[in-house]
Structure formats: C-alpha cells, structure tokens
Structure 1
Amino acid sequence: MDRGWTCPKCGCQEYDLDQFQATGGTFAKLFDVQNKKFRTVSCADCGFTEIYRSKTSGASNIFDFLTN
C-alpha cells in the first residue's frame, strides 16, 4: 500500500489497514488452529473492503495450536 490506494467504489483515497486469521480445513477447525492469514484494506469513507491472502509460517501455526 506504499503507492497509495483509491477506493474503486467511491474514489476516496483514505484507507485503514488491518489483518485477520481464519481456519481452513477439518483438522484446523477441530483443533481451532488459525492457519489462514489475510490483510484487509478498508475505505475510510464508505467502508468498502478488499481482502488479500498473506502467507503464514509453520512456527506461527504451531504456536497457535499450543496456545489454544
């Protein structure tokens, strides 16, 4: 997002960045392992949000499994 971002819905150039993790697959759901990571870009004006997949490391998946 260093190059800036323009909302494709309303044209606003102000945005918020965030991230979230989700489960994927039966094993991950059974053991509540958040093995999918996503980044979001949300328009500060209208709330339109784009979601981008991020890579997760094996170490973070193991840590998540052990701490849940």
Structure 2
Amino acid sequence: MHLTGLILFIFSILGLIVWIVSTLSLLGSKETIINRELYGIPLEINIMPLLISLVLIAVSAGMAWG
C-alpha cells in the first residue's frame, strides 16, 4: 500500500507540473494575447486537472505515509 501511494504521489506531482507548464505556455502565447485583444475572447483556464491532481496528491500522501 505504501509503494502504491508513493507511485501515485509521484505521478500526481508530474501531472501538476504538466498542468502548470501548459497553463503558463497558454498565458504567454502571442496568439492567445492577440485573439483576446482583437476578438474579446475570454481566456478560460481549465482548473479541473489542477483539482484532480491536488486530491490525488493528498490521497497518495496519506497512502504512502499514513
């Protein structure tokens, strides 16, 4: 159970890092900024992967060290 929790914890951290990098690249994209200024398109950031990663981190930490 501890090994499973540790593996899940590592993959949850990696998923969180991927979400952060993809969000930052979306925010820094010139095309996104141009589209927002020209067409008034709101920038929507999907926070569901963030919430799932945070829940998995909490659960896996409890499994690994609980």
What TM-score, normalized to structure 2?
0.23
User: Which structure's residues are more often strand, by fraction?
Assistant: 1
What TM-score, normalized to structure 1?
0.23
